[in-house]
Amino acid sequence: MQLANVRTAVGDRAARVDDDTCVILPCTMRELLTDDLWDIAGADDLDGVAFERIARDAADLAPLISDPDKIVCVGLNYAEHVAEMGRALPTHPTYFSKFSGALIGARDDIELPKPDVSVAIDWEVELAIVIGAPARHVRAADALDHVAGYTICNDVSVRDWQTRSVQFLAGKTFEHTTPLGPVMTTADVLGDGSGLAVRTEVDGVTKQSSTTDELVFGVADLVADLSTIITLLPGDIIATGTPSGVGAGRDPQEWLTDGAELVTSIEGIGTMRNRCRIA
Amino acid sequence: MQLANVRTAVGDRAARVDDDTCVILPCTMRELLTDDLWDIAGADDLDGVAFERIARDAADLAPLISDPDKIVCVGLNYAEHVAEMGRALPTHPTYFSKFSGALIGARDDIELPKPDVSVAIDWEVELAIVIGAPARHVRAADALDHVAGYTICNDVSVRDWQTRSVQFLAGKTFEHTTPLGPVMTTADVLGDGSGLAVRTEVDGVTKQSSTTDELVFGVADLVADLSTIITLLPGDIIATGTPSGVGAGRDPQEWLTDGAELVTSIEGIGTMRNRCRIA
């Protein structure tokens, strides 16, 4: 099953994606995940009242989760990307976060900072885990029971702000820069998220192309490790890191510019198309 | 004025602290700040219905804000602490974050991780800014207009998890480790937050003692800088960093242990007393 988060007149609503149609469900994505409303997710009506159906192309897509309790990002989790950033392969996962105000939908414009703030804006395709059931002190062997599914994150990064201190957060949470979507494909389809092709294109040119088989720390290990620290909650997002091919690692370096189209794809999930605009 | 966040039978509620009494207000702290309910904050009744009053000592204090949209922490913001951690004085603020699941109230137990997870748990008294009005692209000269007041954070840190990767988050967001409170003193009393004595005691022994005059980046500069990145919202917390005297900087190093009492004080705000317990 694939689910989306659709902006409607009454607020963001979960939607089931049936081929070219979005079936608007009477709940939010977090309610669906928190209250385990999978019967409703699979239905076409409730008490005889048919759910609204809209064309998939016409849906106004919100970030896959509107206001997640946590957005955890994993850095340095593909060996070739670690090398291009000039760092050593980590012995433990590298976690940082971003705030929900950074998120945008799969077709929204990316708000580039004004040029006097930064011009060093970079792309980072990432497989993102969506937590389905609370997870605390779970073992890796049980971790997938807590995963609802997977979506796509482009962890768009303002590189000079990311590296002006020893902590990444400043460059990772600029307002309205992080596309999250277009859908969540459920874990019964994608399993542990391995073996999926991931890709970034800028104005039609492929910049990143890898597979999730290259993850240093896999989905089950990340969920288990994070659950040692804190309770993961339904709707929490874990962006699992990006492969090589980022703009900062190129010679000469390349950045997203006003008007550029960023296309972010993961096999089995879909494609996001975001236009860059100086805010 | 001083405000607290009190657990009641109908949920967490803002309370005005009048000397030894808490006057329970008919709203949450975020509602009070978001909807600018300062008339209600100063009142004793609404439409003739008197607000409940309880003894201050009997109040069950929640974290000052129950579920802030953002908790921004500033690292390396007192010169002597930067030196004791073996780092260079930063040219820009160092930001990281923690999740709201890390927060506890001013009298709650601190949940120490089990010894096989970590024994290196450290203290960090910090002046914390509470945002009152949305702030986006504000200048430092105007930044204090967006500050509702100040509270105390002890940014309790699991040092080996903080330093096992290049990003601090893992060691900064362990569940139920971060006291936030006991009250917010409003900015009309504390101004720009400078000149306040800050102190940590463990089992009656002073471990940190400094003043907020030693901040490398002050309150107005932090608010302005962060507002360049993202919109700060009412109830957002900015913990401004800790002075020297942490356990990791001592010889030999010292850590919080099961049963220890952590007392965290800032002049003009108050004192938090938290007992450490292995969860």
Q: Each residue of B221-272: pLDDT tens digit?
A: 999 999 999 999 999 999 999 999 999 999 999 999 999 999 999 999 999 9
- Where residue A209 falls among pLDDT bands split at 50, 70, 90? very high
Per-residue CA distances from B50 to B4, B24, B30, B31, B43 (Å): 18, 10, 22, 19, 9
In 3D space, the residue among A91, A116, A78 whose CA is nearest the CA of residue A208 turns out to be A78
User: Cβ–Cβ contacts within 10 Å for residue A136, how many?
Assistant: 15
Q: Cα(B160)–Cα(B188) distance, rounded to whole angstroms?
A: 40
So what's the pLDDT on residue A276?
Answer: 98
Contact call for B164 and A101, based on CB within 8 A = no
So what's the pLDDT on residue A53?
Answer: 98
Indicate where chain A has its CATH 3.90.850.10 domain(s): 71-278
Per-residue CA distances from B190 to A211, A269, B28, B39, B185 (Å): 54, 51, 23, 20, 7
Contact call for A167 and B168, based on CB within 8 A = yes
E-assigned strand segments in B178-255: 178-186, 197-202, 205-211, 237-239
3-state secondary structure of B112: strand
Helices (H) and strands (E) in chain A, counts: 8, 20
So what's the pLDDT on residue A225?
Answer: 98
Residues for chain B: how many in total? 279
Q: Cα(B265)–Cα(A162) distance, rounded to whole angstroms?
A: 33
Q: Cα(A184)–Cα(A62) distance, rounded to whole angstroms?
A: 12
Per-residue CA distances from A231 to A69, B173, B180 (Å): 11, 10, 19
10 Å CB burial of residue A245 (0-12, 13-18, 19+) is buried
Q: Does A94 touch chain B (CB under 8 A)?
A: yes
**Which residues in chain A are closer than 8 Å to B102, comparing Cβ atoms?**
230
Stretch (H or E) spanning B221: helix B219-229
Q: Are A129 and A219 in contact (CB under 8 A)?
A: yes
Mean pLDDT of A45-70: 97
Mean pLDDT of B212-219: 97
Q: Which of A67, A169, A231 to mutate to test the interface with B (most CBs of B within 10 A)?
A: A169
CATH architecture of B71-278: Alpha-Beta Complex (3.90)
So what's the pLDDT on residue A250?
Answer: 96
Q: Each residue of A230-276: pLDDT tens digit?
A: 999 999 999 999 999 999 999 999 999 999 999 999 999 999 999 99
So what's the pLDDT on residue A237?
Answer: 98
**Mean pLDDT across chain A:** 97
Q: Does A157 touch chain B (CB under 8 A)?
A: no
So what's the pLDDT on residue A85?
Answer: 85
So what's the pLDDT on residue B151?
Answer: 99
Q: Cα(A74)–Cα(A55) distance, rounded to whole angstroms?
A: 34
* ipTM of the complex model: 0.97
Q: Each residue of A80-97: pLDDT tens digit?
A: 888 888 888 899 999 999
So what's the pLDDT on residue A256?
Answer: 98
Q: Are A170 and B95 in contact (CB under 8 A)?
A: yes
Q: How far is A138 from chain B (nearest CA, A)?
A: 14
Mean pLDDT of B84-99: 93
So what's the pLDDT on residue B85?
Answer: 85
User: Which of A164, A170, A229 is closest, CB to CB, to B173?
Assistant: A229
**Which residues in chain B are closer than 8 Å to A168, comparing Cβ atoms?**
167
Q: Does A75 touch chain B (CB under 8 A)?
A: yes
Mean pLDDT of A66-76: 97
User: Which of A93, A169, A231 is closest, CB to CB, to B97?
Assistant: A169
Q: Does B217 touch chain A (CB under 8 A)?
A: no
- The yes-or-no verdict on residue A210 having pLDDT over 90 is yes
pLDDT over 90 percentage in chain A: 95
Q: How far is B9 from chain A (nearest CA, A)?
A: 23
Q: Does B161 touch chain A (CB under 8 A)?
A: yes
Contact call for B166 and A165, based on CB within 8 A = no
A vs B, Cβ pairs < 8 A, gives 104
Q: Cα(A215)–Cα(A127) distance, rounded to whole angstroms?
A: 10
3-state secondary structure of A47: coil
Q: Each residue of B148-175: pLDDT tens digit?
A: 999 999 999 999 999 999 999 999 999 9
- Where residue A144 falls among pLDDT bands split at 50, 70, 90? very high
- The yes-or-no verdict on residue A4 having pLDDT over 90 is yes
Q: Does B93 touch chain A (CB under 8 A)?
A: yes
So what's the pLDDT on residue A84?
Answer: 87
Residues 6+ apart with CB under 8 A from A164: A170, A171, B91, B92
In this structure, what DSSP letter does residue A245 have? -
Q: Cα(B93)–Cα(B90) distance, rounded to whole angstroms?
A: 7
**Which residues in chain A are closer than 8 Å to B75, comparing Cβ atoms?**
165-167
- Where residue B84 falls among pLDDT bands split at 50, 70, 90? confident
Tokens representing residue B203 in the block: 């089992």
- The yes-or-no verdict on residue A194 having pLDDT over 90 is yes
User: Which of B96, B99, B168 is closest, CB to CB, to A69?
Assistant: B99
Mean pLDDT of B187-193: 98
Q: Each residue of A23-46: pLDDT tens digit?
A: 999 999 999 999 999 999 999 999
In 3D space, the residue among A156, A237, A179, A198 whose CA is nearest the CA of residue A61 turns out to be A179
Mean pLDDT of B45-68: 97
- The yes-or-no verdict on residue A184 having pLDDT over 90 is yes
At which residue do the structure tokens 């009412």 appear?
B234
**Which residues in chain B are closer than 8 Å to A94, comparing Cβ atoms?**
165-167
- The yes-or-no verdict on residue A181 having pLDDT over 90 is yes
**Which residues in chain B are closer than 8 Å to A104, comparing Cβ atoms?**
none
Dihedral pair phi/psi, residue A189, rounded to 5° = -90, -45
Q: How far is A38 from chain B (nearest CA, A)?
A: 26
